């Protein structure tokens, strides 16, 4: 599971994408990121969590652009991404995580995903009444999320780990994350 980076042997670096960065208080999000990095370390990977970078901007726009730049640098440096595709603020995954999946796929890097909601995307869309008459077959692929997100995972030789977690632990449960890390480890063996 060793990789070459900058001419020296080093561990593969995972970028950890997901909506848990929005957990409050911020210390809760940081602690979860540290737990995820420890799980990766146990599997032989180094890991970068979006909250590892500290924005230096002064205005809200400058801070936002700093965060974007930090995350892009982390993704460019990473060998692959592990993305939390659990629905967030609606029936679909966090839109920022979707961008990160697409960005990593465009860089030609492996994408691994997991979700703590085992329901197919289509079932969630239908249950929420988000279709108009005649569109009932939209997204009828049995995917965990929108086809563009899951296809990016599948086309990069990754997979989406699905499993249930209690509603209160939906963003913080690490059981499916651990299964996803093991799939990434198997990919690199």
Per-residue pLDDT of 166-188, as tens digits, reads 999 999 999 999 999 999 999 99
Look at residue 137 in the predicted model and tell me its pLDDT.
67
Percent of the chain with pLDDT over 70: 92
Handedness of CA 166, 167, 172, 176 (dihedral sign): positive
Is 172:32 a contact under the CB 8 Å cutoff?
yes
- Residue 83's domain comprises 2-188
90: tokens are 């609606």
Beta carbons within 10 angstroms of residue 18's beta carbon? 28
Give the residue-averaged pLDDT of 103-127. 95
CATH number at 80 reads 3.40.50.450
Domain count, the chain: 1
Please tell me the number of Cα atoms within 13 Å of 105 on its side-chain side: 22
Give the residue-averaged pLDDT of 107-117. 97
118: phi then psi, degrees, rounded to nearest 5: -75, -10
- Give yes or no for residue 7 having a pLDDT over 50: no
What pTM was computed for the model? 0.92
85: tokens are 């595709």
């Amino acid at each position: 599971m060793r990789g070459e980076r900058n001419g020296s042997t080093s561990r593969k670096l995972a970028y950890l994408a997901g909506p848990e960065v929005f957990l409050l208080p911020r210390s809760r999000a940081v602690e979860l990121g540290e737990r995820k990095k420890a799980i990766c370390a146990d599997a032989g990977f180094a890991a970068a969590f979006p909250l590892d970078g500290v924005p230096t901007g002064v205005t809200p726009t400058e801070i936002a652009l700093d965060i974007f730049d930090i995350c892009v640098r982390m993704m460019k440096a990473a060998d692959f991404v592990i993305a939390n595709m659990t629905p967030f603020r609606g029936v679909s995954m966090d839109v920022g995580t979707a961008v990160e999946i697409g960005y990593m796929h465009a860089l030609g890097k492996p994408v691994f995903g997991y979700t703590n909601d085992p329901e197919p995307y289509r079932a969630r869309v239908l249950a929420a009444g988000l279709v108009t008459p005649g569109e009932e077959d939209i997204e009828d692929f049995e995917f965990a999320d929108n086809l563009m997100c899951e296809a990016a995972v599948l086309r990069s030789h990754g997979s989406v780990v699905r499993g249930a977690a209690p509603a209160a632990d939906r963003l913080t449960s690490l059981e499916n994350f651990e299964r996803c890390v093991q799939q990434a480890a198997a990919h690199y063996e």
